[in-house]
Amino acid sequence: MANISKRLSTNVEGDFFVDSTCIDCDTCRQLAPATFMEESDYSVVFNQPESAQEEFAAYQALIACPVGSIGTVKKNSQVFAEAQASFPLHLEDNVYYVGFNSEKSFGAHSYFIQHPEGNWLVDSPRYLKHLIQAFEKKGGIRYIFLSHEDDVADAGRYAKTFGATRIIHQADAVAIPDAEWIVGGEEAIHPEPKFTLIPVPGHTAGSMALLYNHCFLFSGDHLWWDRDLERLETPHMLVWDDTHLKQSITKLLDHSFEWVLPGHGERIHIHRHHMKKAIEELAQRRWGS
């Protein structure tokens, strides 16, 4: 829970605040951009909610915060409950943003795909009763896709609860050596119709992306949208191998998709033609090719 005695002085006055435990993971700024912004390596409240919609979004951010650094002077219990019930948050078709980001993965996003042949959890949120019940109502979890070693979080607990198969690449399997399915090599794999596992080494040796229905790319920490520069970005720091990263970015040009759903960074939905152009521009900007 946020501590008002640790309230950052850079917050504007009012009900919502961020305290000094913030890890600057960007979760709140994505969910409630009208309320939160980045200031000196923290998220802060730059504008108190001015409408019911903005208040609802601010409570979603409070709930999703991985370290509980967002608080209110006076809690609106009804809006809090409604915001909590909104997770997993529907994005499009049968794809959801889970929320309840985990500190164990530095606040990385996780996603849920509801599918008649078995549901998929992409990376892991916190292990919570609310999510267990939500997943049960949607038919449980068959697969847990782990994009890389950093975002495993509570995958083991969810796998045990639902009898799910955890998928991770061999090069990152040290993070979860008892995974039920350890992927090898760098070639794309098609475990089921509409699902493609794409090894994309670079950020880590075992980074993978998951492409669903030729539309949704779950990219881990490999690729994301920069909201300020309005372009795709890929890691510049904490890169295992830059040559592999370049090859992995180029590899994505062989696939068609409209969504990038990252572990960190902004998600984006644009026409697949513009997506391909954005990837080409990223490669040119970063490596001159």
Cβ atoms of residues 278 and 272 within 8 Å: no
Using omega within 30 degrees of 0 as the cis cutoff, is the peptide bond preceding 88 cis?
yes
CA distances from 197 to 23, 151, 161 (A): 30, 16, 24
User: Mean pLDDT, the chain, as a whole number?
Assistant: 96
Cβ atoms of residues 46 and 37 within 8 Å: yes
Average pLDDT over residues 8-27: 96
Q: What is the DSSP letter of 33?
A: T
pLDDT value of position 127: 98
pLDDT value of position 289: 64
Its pTM stands at 0.95
pLDDT value of position 140: 98
Span 147-176, pLDDT tens digits: 999 999 999 999 999 999 999 999 999 999
Spatial neighbors of 75 by CB under 8 A, at least 6 apart, are none
In total, the chain counts a number of residues equal to 289
pLDDT value of position 195: 98
* CA neighbours closer than 13 Å in the CB half-sphere of residue 68: 5
CA 50 distance to own-chain centroid: 27
Domains and CATH numbers, the chain: 4-84 (3.30.70.20), 87-287 (3.60.15.10)
CA 259 distance to own-chain centroid: 13
Confidence of residue 30 (pLDDT cuts 50, 70, 90): very high
Span 184-212, pLDDT tens digits: 999 999 999 999 999 999 999 999 999 99
Percent of the chain with pLDDT over 90: 98
Confidence of residue 18 (pLDDT cuts 50, 70, 90): very high
CA distance linking residue 259 with residue 37, whole number of Å: 24
Provide φ and ψ at 180, rounded to 5°. Answer: -70, -25
Instruction: Inform me whether the pLDDT recorded for 65 exceeds 70.
Output: yes
Span 92-135, pLDDT tens digits: 999 999 999 999 999 999 999 999 999 999 999 999 999 999 99
pLDDT value of position 241: 96
pLDDT value of position 1: 78
pLDDT value of position 168: 98
Give the closest residue to 151 by CA, choosing from 115, 122, 120.
122
SS3 181: strand
* CA neighbours closer than 13 Å in the CB half-sphere of residue 89: 18
Encode 146-183: b = buried (16+ Cβ within 10 Å), e = exposed.
Answer: bbbbbbbbbbbebbeebebbbbbbebbbebbeebeebb
Pair type for strands 120-122 and 143-145: parallel
Span 217-242, pLDDT tens digits: 999 999 999 998 999 999 999 999 99
